[in-house]
Amino acid sequence: MTKKLVKIWIWLYNDKIYKAVCCEEDGTLSIYDDQDTLLMKRTGLTPGQIRLFETTLITAGAKRVDGHQEPFTYL
């Protein structure tokens, strides 16, 4: 069994930390607030749509979290 490539993005908005979890293989995108409450989930997205969303996150100042580091090192 292969491990799926899941990308985690974080950003600060109105003094709160938000997190997006993207998986191109599944075509899923989930967004959580600072309390880990699910705010939005989308399924059935194409890899292109997920890459477009990630590009938008980068331009908005989001940082990609490495799986081996705490998110606080990015803020």
Report all structural domains of the chain as residue ranges with CATH numbers, in order of start: 6-70 (2.20.140)
Confidence of residue 5 (pLDDT cuts 50, 70, 90): confident
Chain centre distance of CA 72: 15
Residue 1 has pLDDT above 90, yes or no: no
Output the pLDDT for position 75.
45
- Residue with more model confidence, 74 or 39: 39
Output the pLDDT for position 7.
92
Could you tell me the two tokens for 9? Answer: 């993005």
Sign of CA pseudo-dihedral 16, 41, 61, 24? positive
Could you tell me the two tokens for 2? Answer: 């292969």
**Who contacts 47 (Cβ-Cβ below 8 Å, separation ≥6)?**
24, 27
Distance between CA 20 and CA 67 in Å, rounded?
14
Q: What is the pLDDT of residues 17-73, one digit of tens each?
A: 999 999 999 999 999 999 999 999 999 999 999 999 999 999 999 999 876 555 554
